[in-house]
Amino acid sequence: MKKRIGIVGGGQLGRLLAEAAHPLGFHVSVLDPTPKSPAGRVADLQIVADYKDSMAIEKLALEIDYLTFEIELADSDILDELQKQGILVNPSGKTLSIIKDKFKQKKFLRKHNIPVADFIDVKDRGDIERAIEAFKYPVFLKARFDAYDGRGNALIEKPDDIESALLKLVDRDLYVEQYVPFKKEIAVIAARGIDGTVVTYPAVQTIHKNNICHVVIAPAAINNKARGMARKLAEDVLKHFSGAGVFGIEMFVTHDGEILINEIAPRVHNSGHHTIESSTTSQFEQHIRAITGMPLKDTTMKIAHAVMINILGDRNGPVQLSGVSEAEALPGVFVHIYDKIETRYERKMGHVTVVAKTAKEAMKLAKRARSMISI
């Protein structure tokens, strides 16, 4: 039996994937440039190498039966070439190449009639000013590549903001996106198996600060019509991208009830962390099932409500952790620490999930538990 999985990327997503794979009987190898990476600490093997190191990725591919990735920094060309050689790569290198370039992603979605905010490619300040003339203030200046956790976005609300936005995103390929005055940000986790079967998880609400996800509320407090629209939109998105696996699909709910796609991640996603405790099948187990050809399982929530709060670093330096045991003593509280060696400001160091009978109680306990943890 084929029981060896390789993961390009050794961060917290790789760690949680490895933890889900082991009970299913899989051997997990990861590739990451950081020795003793979060995933490397729980995987069976870590190859210490860059995400774009072709020789290292080929070495990984020779030692496994199924290859996947947990970070968009993975080299899509190498993955595509390995797929042509017969390696089972999921999602596909082609899908990664489209999604990792956010401008290319938006063009692809629009081509397939998936609703997105308006956007314009820009090269210099003049192009930005012309885009603002078309869209009016405010707009977002966004980096096309490697733009996660708010590191590639700059809000421009007035002329004086243009220079600071350009300084923040200096030497990067850029585009301008029209600002969407949304009512809520939501996300849907969707998975497709090798046999084409698609399942979706209930939509959740995401709350961001500084363009970084801080809180996830499951399920989202939206009406049945919006819930159905979000699920249908997620299913439509998966029709146009190749490969098996879990996809995280971020959306805006506008004030007039429309739903637009914000961004897509071809991997397990922060908005699905709550599924470890809240759902019949976690997104991490589902991804392992999807990429290895196992049947996909039930996505329903097994409890009424859940709230996830990210544990973000509040300084730079070595990790000093306290309060976890005290937080986990609270009812329905689960703490996940990612074992990163260094903490940095706003770096994701762990998360807290709370399950409860009401959304109000879940939020109250989640905030209390998070306040007890220092990292």
Residue 113 lies in a domain: no
CB 216 within 8 A of CB 204: yes
In 3-state terms, what secondary structure has residue 337?
strand
Report the percentage of the chain scoring pLDDT > 90: 95
Asked whether residue 116 carries a pLDDT value surpassing 70, the answer given is: yes
Q: What is the pLDDT of residue 148?
A: 73
Total domains in the fold of the chain: 3
Residue type, 140: F
**Is 26 among the domain residues?**
yes
Q: Which of 18-22, 33-37, 181-185, 313-317 has the lowest mean pLDDT?
A: 313-317
Q: 317 and 228: one domain?
A: yes
Cα–Cα distance measured from residue 37 to residue 21, given in angstroms and rounded to the nearest whole number:
17
CATH number of the domain at 319, please: 3.30.470.20
pLDDT of residue 31: 98
CATH number at residue 167: 3.30.1490.20
CB neighbour list of residue 28: distance below 8 Å, 6 or more residues apart: 4, 5, 6, 7, 17, 18, 21, 22, 39, 43, 44, 45
What pLDDT, in 10s, does the model give residues 211-233? Answer: 899 999 999 999 999 999 999 99
Q: Is residue 173 part of a domain?
A: yes
Average pLDDT over residues 240-262: 97
Confidence (pLDDT) at 1: 67
Asked if 37 and 14 count as a contact pair (C-beta separation under 8 A), the reply is yes
Residue 364 located in a structural domain: yes
Instruction: Sort strands 88-89 and 119-122 into parallel, antiparallel or unpaired.
Output: unpaired
* pTM of the model as a whole: 0.96
In the prediction, which pLDDT does 211 show? 83
Residues 157 and 186 placed together within one structural domain of the fold: no
CATH number at residue 27: 3.40.50.20
Does residue 309 form part of some domain? yes
Q: Domain containing 211: what range?
A: 182-372
Whether residues 274 and 342 share a domain: the answer is yes
pLDDT range class, residue 146, cuts 50, 70, 90? confident
Only one residue has tokens 């991208």, namely 241
Average pLDDT estimate for 289-300: 98
State how far the alpha carbon of 301 is from the alpha carbons of 64, 271, 310, 333, in Å.
33, 14, 20, 16
173 plus 194 within the same structural domain: no
Confidence at 147, pLDDT banded by 50, 70, 90: confident
159 and 22 in one domain? no
Assess whether the previous peptide bond of 219 is cis (omega < 30° from 0).
yes
pLDDT at 353: 98
> pLDDT digit string (tens) for 256-294?
999 999 999 999 999 999 999 999 999 999 999 999 999
Mean pLDDT across 159-163: 96
Per-residue pLDDT at 151: 77
Name the more confident of 106 and 1: 106
Residues 170 and 206 in one domain: no
Are residue 76 and residue 156 in the same domain, yes or no? no
User: Domain for residue 8, yes or no?
Assistant: yes
**Residue 98 falls within a domain, yes or no?**
no
